[in-house]
Amino acid sequence: MHLKSITNLCKFTLISCLVLNLFACNDEEQASSNIKPAVTEKNSHQEISNQPWVEVKQQNLLYLQLDTGTVTILLADFFAPKHTKYIQELVNEGFYNGLPLYRVIENFVVQGGDMSEQKASRVKRSMQAEFEREILTETPFSLVQQGDLLAEQTGFINGFAVGRSISEGKEWLIHCPGAINLARGMQPNSGTTDFAIMFGTPPRHLDRNMSIFGRMIAGWEHFYQVKRGSKEKGGVISDTSKASYIVKAYLGSSLPADKQQTVYIENTATAEFQQRIEKRRKLDNDFYQYKGNGNMDVCYFPIKIKFE
């Protein structure tokens, strides 16, 4: 392998090493079916407190038009505001247009961006990590699991799966399938432009180690058609002419008003949503002969999306 190729591979060394230690994320701890949050959340967001649906801002809808079809990503500006703004700048610059999905590992990750590191950009820079943040008690948090295998609590904020450590006062976004983070090297603040989208088994060993800035909400049928790399090469497609690629990346806000798609996400801060969690926890359907133990994986609970 040429020295230049070795250098280019360095930017995803961290994930390549971590995937070798991927571990199971099934929670085997016992939990009561009537779990109550350990932290009282103050629902001060009156504008969404009683609405079943929340309209997504057009600037937070990221569309990746792949050669296989278009996927839609919801940006997490509430949690990773610096990364969200940065990605929006890169997209508006046209940086991702024509770039390949150059590393694809079945049941783990699709990584895309500037593998050559040669594409010019006016806004490209290294980003300060947004792995986690202090728990904000004023933010509505809908509890899913207390005593999760990898977090003291899991639940939802603004339609995103969140892990919490009450003892540390920290919370973070979880690497459920569809989560997208900024790829980086060994140093926490080394991420620049490349991204990684999770698919398959949730790689939760990456939680609190990568900056998640969004999640895929539509276009899975196109996403699953991207070309895979060989397992022997760590999923890397060295000849990028043989890789799937991004035809164009654009934001909803860049489209004319009559071309914009209105997207609504289920409001995860309502009592009705919490009731839906409890119904799923109890497997409240005659089909189920074994009702489980009351535990639930936050990545397995679907958030409803509707398009108009």
Q: Compute the average pLDDT of residues 60-83.
A: 98
pLDDT tens digits, one per residue of 106-136: 999 999 999 999 999 999 999 999 999 999 9
Q: Is the pLDDT of residue 41 over 70?
A: no
- Banded model confidence at residue 231, pLDDT cuts 50, 70, 90: confident
Q: Compute the average pLDDT of residues 209-236.
A: 96
Cβ proximity of 53 and 268 under 8 Å: no
- Look over the chain and give the mean of its residue pLDDT values, rounded to a whole number: 87
Q: Is the pLDDT of residue 3 over 70?
A: no
Q: Compute the average pLDDT of residues 188-200.
A: 96
pLDDT tens digits, one per residue of 262-288: 999 999 999 999 999 999 999 999 999
pLDDT tens digits, one per residue of 164-174: 999 999 999 99
- Banded model confidence at residue 86, pLDDT cuts 50, 70, 90: very high
Q: Which residues contact 307 (CB under 8 A, 6 or more apart)?
A: 218, 261, 262, 263, 264
Q: Which residue has the tokens 């990584």?
A: 111
Question: How does DSSP assign the chain, residue by residue?
Answer: --HHHHHHHGGGHHHHHHHTT-------S---TT---SS------TTTTT-SEEEPPGGGEEEEEETTEEEEEEE-TTT-HHHHHHHHHHHHHTTTTT-B--EEETTTEEEES-TTS----SS-------S-EE--TTS--EEEEES-SSSSEEEEETTEEEEEETTTTEEEE---TTEEEE---SSTT---S-EEEE-SS--GGGTTTSEEEEEEEE-HHHHTTSPPPPGGGTTB-SSGGGS-BEEEEEEGGGS-GGGPPPEEEE-TTSHHHHHHHHHHHTT-STT-SS---S---GGGSPPPEEE-
At residue 17, the pLDDT reads: 40
- Banded model confidence at residue 21, pLDDT cuts 50, 70, 90: very low
- Banded model confidence at residue 50, pLDDT cuts 50, 70, 90: confident
Rounded distance, CA 95 to CA 112, Å? 12
Q: Between residues 128 and 6, which one has the greater pLDDT?
A: 128
Q: Between residues 295 and 45, which one has the greater pLDDT?
A: 295
Q: Which residue has the tokens 């939802």?
A: 156
Name the residue ranges covered by the structural domains of the chain: 3-307
Burial of 7 (0-12, 13-18, 19+ CB in 10 A): exposed
Q: Is the pLDDT of residue 27 over 50?
A: no
What's the CATH fold of domain 3-307?
Cyclophilin (2.40.100)
At residue 49, the pLDDT reads: 64
